[in-house]
Amino acid sequence: MWTSLTRVEAGRKRSATTGRAFTLIELLVVIAIIAILAALLLPTLARAKERGQRVQCLSNLKQLQSGWHLYLLDNNDFMPPNLWDGVPAPAAGAAPGSWVVGNAREVTPTNIIRGVQWPYNSSLGVYHCPSDKSLAVDGQTLRFRSYSLINFLGAAQNDNGPYANLDKRRGCELMRTSTVLAFDCENEDSIEDGMLATYAAPSTQWLNLPGSRHSQGCTFSFADGHVEYWKWHAGILPFIGRPQEATAADLPDLQRVQAALPDP
């Protein structure tokens, strides 16, 4: 019995001494495989994260559009005002009494809360795109607002501009509501007041610029309440200034926006 136990112990010792660790080459091979897998997986994870942020952005726009409709119901079909305070860009702000007030680059959310739409969308997160990393004027605070409303909805009563025939102030004035743009996720360098200012056709100039932060595309809500994601033909739309002439590459994108403005 003792001899048998001794042999077992000896076998265990031989087994332990014959085991070996990874060689340097084997270790490098394992590290290389892990690096290859990471390179394959990280872009997929990044795309999945972006899709999730886009879905959240579309949800925000859906909520803003629902609040816009509730405002109409409570105000005899009048739209939330969408007014400019007269200050030149980039310091332009939305005038008091608008759906939001002030400039999107301010360091506090006070002017969102002062907007007439706040009682219908009283959560600050609804006003900010999760993909928008732009900062307020202090260079430290994340901006509170990423969205704007097309300039023809809730327009000023005394507007006598060249496109005044597109201005709408009541819901009943809109035709083909499923094709009329309302809220958008605006370009971070273009956004200031509460409106996405747009020239109608046949203009070939951008005034404000829709965003491109969602995989080179933008999210929109429409006057009937639905939301859409648009992939830009030109990819990223760079903001150069306002107004800026559309290039051959992004002219189809401008024309797509112009085709979704209210009917005269």
pLDDT tens per residue across span 223-246: 999 999 999 999 999 999 889 999
Tokens 């739209």 correspond to 79
pLDDT of residue 30: 78
CA torsion 86-91-96-100 (nearest 10°) is 130
For the stretch 121-151, pLDDT in tens is 999 999 999 999 999 999 999 999 999 999 9
Contact (Cβ atoms closer than 8 angstroms) between residue 249 and residue 212: no
How far out from the chain centre does Cα 2 lie? 78
pTM of the entire predicted model:
0.82
Place 203 in a pLDDT band, splitting at 50, 70 and 90.
very high
Sheet containing 147-150, strands listed edge to edge, beginning at the edge strand earlier in sequence: 195-196, 147-150, 181-185, 217-222, 227-231
Question: Distance between CA atoms of 104 and 137, rounded to whole angstroms?
Answer: 9
Token pair, residue 85, equals 């305070």
pLDDT of residue 66: 98
Question: Of the given ranges (20-34, 37-51, 181-195, 210-224), which has the lowest mean pLDDT?
Answer: 37-51
CA neighbor of 145 nearest in space, from 181, 182, 102, 116: 102
For the stretch 2-34, pLDDT in tens is 455 455 454 555 444 455 676 878 777 778 878
13: Cβ–Cβ under 8 A, 6 or more apart, which residues? none
pLDDT of residue 8: 46
Type of residue found at 100:
V
Question: Distance between CA atoms of 41 and 18, rounded to whole angstroms?
Answer: 38
Q: Where are the domains of the chain?
A: 31-80+146-258
CA neighbor of 211 nearest in space, from 131, 138, 156, 136: 131
Please report the sign of the dihedral spanned by the C-alpha atoms of residue 184, residue 190, residue 193, residue 195.
Answer: negative
Q: Who wins on pLDDT, 29 or 258? A: 258
Q: Is 230 in a helix, a strand, or coil? A: strand
Question: Distance between CA atoms of 220 and 213, rounded to whole angstroms?
Answer: 13
Question: Distance between CA atoms of 192 and 93, rounded to whole angstroms?
Answer: 6
The CA distances from residue 86 to 17, 90, 102, 194, in Å, are 85, 11, 11, 12
